[in-house]
Amino acid sequence: MKSSTLTENPLLIGEGLPPFDLIQVSHVVPGITTLLEQLTTELETLEDDLAPTWMGLVTPLTRIRERLNWSWRIIGHLMGVKNSPELRAAYEIVQPDLIQFESRLAQSQPIYAAFKAMRRGRQWSQLEPAQQRIVEAALRDAELAGVGLRGASRDRFNEIQQTLAELSTQFANNVLDATKAFSLILTTAAEIEGLPPSLLALAAQNARQHNHPNATATTGPWLITLDHPSFTPFMQHSRRRDLREQIYRAFITRAAGGDWDNTPLIHRILELRQEMTELLGYESYASLSLTSKMAPSVEAIYTLMEELRLASYDTAREELQQLNAFAHQKGAAEAGHLTQWDTAFWAERVREEQYGLSDEQLRPYFPLPQVLEGLFTLAQQIFGITITAADGEAPVWHPDVHYFRVLNQDHAAIAYFYLDPYSRPAEKQGGAWMDECINRAKINGNVRLPVAYLVCNQAPPVNGNPSLMTFAEVETLFHEFGHGLQHMLTQVDYAGAAGINNVEWDATELPSQFMENWCYHRHTLLSVARHYETGEALPEDLYQKILAARTFMTGSATLRQIRFAWTDLELHHRYRSNQTETIFDLSYRIASQASVLQPLREDAFLCSFNHIFAGGYAAGYYSYFWAEVLSADAFAAFEEAGLENQQALIEIGQRFRDTVLALGGSQHPMAVFKTFRGREPSTEALLRHRGLARA
């Protein structure tokens, strides 16, 4: 295959902002092939002439890793936001060679020996804490990557790594394809009964994009998909119980059969993870996973899960009883025996009547431009940063993507970020995430500024109106922005510990969940929420209703997350492929214990559980709860100072910025938290915020 040169392949530039306007799928295979050839030569040269010092080992090694990451992250990013059959094919061609190179790098005996020499050398005490953490992480990661294996064991380990990477990619592709393949066409007034105008407009727009060019919100036809901006409001508002059942069953069986069946992939992934674990000498994949996490043991995680389950179960049971009573009051035939496709519908009716609140009532107050303005104002008030539009200064992968700069108090740029806000079911993975584009680092005395990707999946603009967000979508945007703040406001000068790098996985959700709390802060929410047509601020009574509804169905929501975390932990700690209990039996057993509504036997949510089978949350989904203990307690520091005391918020905000956001992975997260809070974390604030304190 012909090699690519820098001048003809933008994937070989290796630094700066990705040239998304120049990158073509045809660049992937020759570009990565050439890059791996170059980096293999650099690695061999380094191994032949390395010194166990920072400049002799870490600096050149970082250069190799960052050169690889620059190109590969671009491709991985495009797989998430601009997926296509052609890109998948190219990705699958180069992925094996890339995994092989990463294994070669991670298992390098000369590099591992040099790191060990650094650790025991006389200059160790002269290194900064961030540098020591980077060296210690390198030693740990090498051991987890099989550096201690020899012969057939190493060959088998590397084969497993290769296969797992391929299976994870295939898993995510199957979920995307299965989600994209389902659609429900509605053509009559009876079929759309109860659906809000915003969903009808979106459904008509979906129909126009799928061979119904004359579809309108008033006359149809309307196309409902399994994408969340379509699925969620349909389940909340459709008065056709039979259609709710149809779409719910389709949702929970995505990628569980047919051409996109992920069931065999799950079995193989779990088997290979356990085999890899045993090669490394660990009891379970969960035990192995915890070597790079904050939680001290699997037992400590089970203890937290059980504490939260006990605190939420009775509340969840009462919530279901209330829904049943309400349905009975309204004369519903299903009263007394609500199913999974009824709860969202009746919960929304109770929310409307009990709190006088609905997503559709709130949407007009949350146009994306106004929400961004309020979010950026908050960031300025508590962190002292200014965010301004920088569209046109960076190439983007889709016309809907925006680019922003982040300025410090002296008006100097300190970071940048992309925002890709809207759902695109045909090419974009579901969910929301933050990812690194460029990491902060000091190179030759100059600071390289960090750049982040922020990706959401909210409803796009329809009929000339801006994207009108649900309150949950506002929370999601604040959440991802919190991740972005930790990446962008880091003050660590070493790439290996800057931003989210080298932060224990179960602490990474701290800043993101912390930011969600501000959505309930009166001053913040009233600055975020303005009517898209009139400019009118969110009425005080609606704010009070949002506040009152914060813990509505909180027991059920908490149990749902416990179910996911508990299932993940069981699969990766106790489950073995030779046992009589199948993965779906296990899922059903846990759902029965962590739900107040008997689960459906056909529920195959595991087949679309991207977090643990195609993301980084394997044996780590509990991290959302673990970090929420930290984030709720961190926000409690602001509450204790007084949320209306602007001067106090500025002072505590600066302390939060100087610790949680600035220190990144340069210190252990417990040390960072204690520096900010002055003590170890408590679960009290989490239970209070979730409305479970009485338990």
Active site residues: 480
Report the candidate in 565, 594, 558, 614 with the shortest Cα–Cα distance to residue 295. 565
Residue type, 332: A
Give me the residue label for tokens 């509340």.
315
3-state secondary structure of 388: strand
Distance between CA atoms of residues 615 and 612, nearest Å: 6
Helices (H), 619-683: 623-641, 646-656, 669-677
Distance between CA atoms of residues 601 and 587, nearest Å: 10
The answer to whether the CB of 367 falls within 8 A of the CB of 468 is yes
Report the candidate in 138, 348, 103 with the shortest Cα–Cα distance to residue 237. 348
Distance between CA atoms of residues 370 and 379, nearest Å: 14
Distance between CA atoms of residues 543 and 518, nearest Å: 13
Whether the upstream peptide bond of residue 221 has omega within 30° of 0, thus cis, is yes
Rg of the chain over Cα atoms, rounded to whole angstroms, equals: 25
3-state secondary structure of 222: strand
Beta strands at 222-224 and 433-438: parallel, antiparallel or unpaired: unpaired
Residues 6 or more apart from 551 whose CB is under 8 A from it? 690, 691
Two tokens, residue 555: 């027991």
Work out whether the CA dihedral 641, 642, 648, 652 comes out positive or negative: positive
Crossing angle of helices 340-354 and 298-329, in 10° steps, is: 70
DSSP 467: P
Residues 678, 683, 688, CA angle at the centre, nearest 5°? 110
Helices then strands, counting H and E runs in the chain, come out as 26, 9
Residue type, 249: R
Work out whether the CA dihedral 356, 228, 505, 54 comes out positive or negative: negative
Distance between CA atoms of residues 566 and 288, nearest Å: 17
Helices (H), 182-256: 197-208, 228-237, 241-252
Two tokens, residue 151: 């012969």
